[in-house]
Amino acid sequence: MKLTENHIKQLYKFTREHFVYHYDVQTELVDHLANDIEQILEEKPQLTFEQARDVSFKKFGVFGFMDVVEQKQKAMNKRYWKILWRFVKEWFTLPKVIITSLIFIIFFTVLQSIYAEEIIFSSILILAIIDLYYLFKSRGKKKKKKEKTFLLESMIGETRNGFSVLVFINIFNIINLSDTNFETMSIYLLSLAAIFATLMCIVFYITAFVMPSKAEELLMETYPEYKMI
């Protein structure tokens, strides 16, 4: 028995009802289910579509689609970090490397100031506010967004918020709990601190602005079918 277009739509709905929310993961599961259901109905034609679907679904085990979703998330997470690393490397080519050097010099100079701690805390607060602003803005857009959302698309729009806020909180805790005194630090340690701060700024800018602005391009690069959606 060949499944109809209506059957395929039902399978998409079935995956959503079982907590699979991203279109690319849904499509992979629907394709697998459809092939398996056709095979089941060929062997047992007395079964209905729903019965064959349930037989196929049971093969996924106790946790249903969760294992598949987890595997896809891990694989896409690796791809996300590769994309992020690609953009980070671009900052060490001309002319961006000049900007990077200036950021480093600014941090290195600030860290030698008697007001270093106050400036760092103020900067973290400002960046956190900016990040939260874009978080709420992206959530507002998401409410109006098309129904079909891809896993990488979700990561670009949401993962960066958790990452950046976590970085800000950790930097704050490290400085606050360790009672860091920048005035007594050696030039070597100040340089390392300035390098770390520079890298954090670059990563924040890429995840908050660069990658979201290139989301369409990245999605078409990752998903050949994206142009047809």
Residue with tokens 């990245």: 218
pLDDT in the model for residue 142: 56
What is the pLDDT averaged over residues 194-215? 86
12 vs 1, higher pLDDT: 12
Q: Under a CB-based contact definition with an 8 Å cutoff, are residues 151 and 22 in contact?
A: yes
171 vs 71, higher pLDDT: 71
Closest among 162, 170, 135, 150 to 73, alpha carbons compared: 150
pTM beyond 0.75: yes
Task: Give dist(CA 140, CA 53) in Å, integer.
Answer: 36
Per-residue model confidence as pLDDT tens digits over 123-144: 777 777 777 777 677 665 655 5
Task: Give dist(CA 198, CA 104) in Å, integer.
Answer: 6
Mean of pLDDT over the chain: 84
pLDDT in the model for residue 87: 93
pLDDT in the model for residue 172: 59
pLDDT in the model for residue 125: 76
**95: cis peptide before it, omega within 30°?**
yes
